[in-house]
Structure 1
Amino acid sequence: MGRDPRLTTVLNLIAREHALLDAGAYDALFDVVSERVALIEQLADAPPGKDDLSALQAAVAGISDRLEAARAGVARARRRVAALDGAQFSTYTRDSVVEHRQSTPRTHRMV
């Protein structure tokens, strides 16, 4: 008996997820992950054979590790951007610049 076609589809989706991660295409990744999860839920209702199940578990574990690493990387990048925003931009609001100009004596006079 051959491999369950649903399993083949799931494995192809996982390969696509790896390619999207390599390309940094995180927006498209969400749709592929959602499709894979839906297919795996269908497989849970009518499980494939033992060998197919082992292949599926290994593939899911591999992509799960990469997705978690990507999620952590995105979270780190967001924290860095937030830190930069807070440090550089919030201190230079329009009001603080106007206040600084008003409180600083002018050393040059217009003639």
Structure 2
Amino acid sequence: MIRGMRGAITIEKDEPQLVWDETVKLVQAIVEQNNVEPDHIASIIISTTPDITSAFPARSVRMLDGWDYVPIMCMHEMNVEGALPLCIRVLLHVETEIAQRDITHVYLNDAIKLRPDLAAK
């Protein structure tokens, strides 16, 4: 069965190395906490708030060992007034037998504000 595993992280400022480092940190946390291998990932969608324009977050994930063939797509979030700034969101579509309620979604840095209910889990 394919399940969605999600998470979000914020960065301090829009700089390529921060975009890449924090994206990897988030993706690695999601896969580690859910015992996911790259071969079990059908695809990944990464979105950023419109204030992140310095780098493609997917680049850093593609450079991880064993992640060469994981389909990854980047896009911008809607530009909604009052939205959390400098935020990177990730949605992994994963082949897993984990029940929906047992998936660990990961929210780091200021992104904890987005889903405090899931971040506290």
Query: TM-score scaled to structure 1, two decimals?
Result: 0.29
Relative contact order, higher structure (CA 8 A, sep 6+): 2
